[in-house]
Homo-oligomer: A and B are copies of this chain.
Amino acid sequence: MVGSLLASAVSDPKCAVPDMVAYDEAQAILAAYMQNIPLLTTEFVSISQASGRVLAEDIRAVMPRPEADISAMDGYAFRCADMEKAGSVGLPLAGQIAAGDASPSLEKGVACSILTGARIPAGADCVVAQERTSITDGHVHLLEQNVRNGLNIRRSGEEFCKGDMLLEHGLKLDWRHLSILAHQGKEQVSVYKHPKVCVVANGAEFGATATDCRTELNTQLLAAMLQSEGVRVTRYVCGSDSMEALHKLLHQCAQEADILITTGGISVGQTDHVLHVLCQMGAKCLFRRVKMRPGKPMTVMQLGQKMVFCLPGNPGAAAICAQLFIIPFLRGFAGEKQEKKTSMPIEGQSSFAYVAAADTTSFLPVYSTENKGKNLITLVRSVGASDILCLTQATGLVRVSAGTSLQVGDMCQMIPFTA
Q: Which residues of B contact A204 (CB under 8 A)?
A: 98-100
- Asked if A387 is at the interface of the complex by the 8 Å CB criterion, the answer is yes
- Asked if A389 is at the interface of the complex by the 8 Å CB criterion, the answer is yes
Q: In angstroms, how far is the closest chain B Cβ from the Cβ of A248?
A: 20
Give bound CA distance, A138 to B1, whole Å. 9
* Pairwise interchain contact B383-A159, C-beta atoms closer than 8 A: yes
Residue in B113, B224, B271 whose CB lies within 8 Å of A174? B224
Copies of this protein in the assembly total: 2
Residue in B99, B180, B388 whose CB lies within 8 Å of A212? B99
Give bound CA distance, A93 to B212, whole Å. 22
- Asked if A86 is at the interface of the complex by the 8 Å CB criterion, the answer is no
Q: Which residues of B contact A41 (CB under 8 A)?
A: none
Residue of B nearest to A368 (CB): B344
A1-19: CB near B (< 8 Å → 1, else 0) gives 0111110000000000000
* Pairwise interchain contact A269-B203, C-beta atoms closer than 8 A: no
* Pairwise interchain contact B174-A51, C-beta atoms closer than 8 A: no
- Asked if A251 is at the interface of the complex by the 8 Å CB criterion, the answer is no
- Asked if A258 is at the interface of the complex by the 8 Å CB criterion, the answer is no
Q: Which residues of B contact A205 (CB under 8 A)?
A: 98-100, 117
Q: Can you list 18 A-B pairs, Cβ within 8 angstroms, ordered by A?
A: A5-B74, A65-B389, A68-B212, A74-B269, A99-B214, A100-B204, A103-B212, A115-B267, A117-B203, A117-B205, A176-B392, A178-B220, A179-B217, A179-B220, A179-B315, A182-B217, A183-B217, A345-B370
Residues of A within 8 A of B (CB): 2-6, 47-48, 51-52, 65-66, 68, 72, 74-75, 93-96, 98-103, 113-119, 130, 135, 138, 140, 154, 158-160, 166-167, 174-183, 185, 203-207, 210-218, 220-225, 227-228, 241, 267-269, 271, 313-315, 319, 340-348, 367-370, 373-375, 383-384, 386-389, 391-396, 411, 413, 416-419
